[in-house]
Amino acid sequence: MNSRKEVHEMTLAEVLPSARLLSATEKLRLIRILAEDLDMAEDISPLEPFKTYDLPTTYDSFGAGAVLMETLKKSTQSN
Domain that holds residue 28: 12-77
CA 39/CA 52 separation, integer angstroms: 13
How much is the pTM? 0.45
Examine residue 2 and state whether it is found in any structural domain, yes or no.
no
Residue by residue, pLDDT tens for the chain (79 residues) are 455 667 788 899 999 999 999 999 999 999 999 888 877 766 666 777 778 888 887 777 778 888 888 999 988 887 6
Examine residue 6 and state whether it is found in any structural domain, yes or no.
no
CA 35/CA 28 separation, integer angstroms: 10
DSSP 46: T
Examine residue 54 and state whether it is found in any structural domain, yes or no.
yes
Examine residue 18 and state whether it is found in any structural domain, yes or no.
yes
Q: Which are the contacts of 57, defined by CB distance < 8 A and separation ≥ 6?
A: none
Give the total number of structural domains in the chain.
1
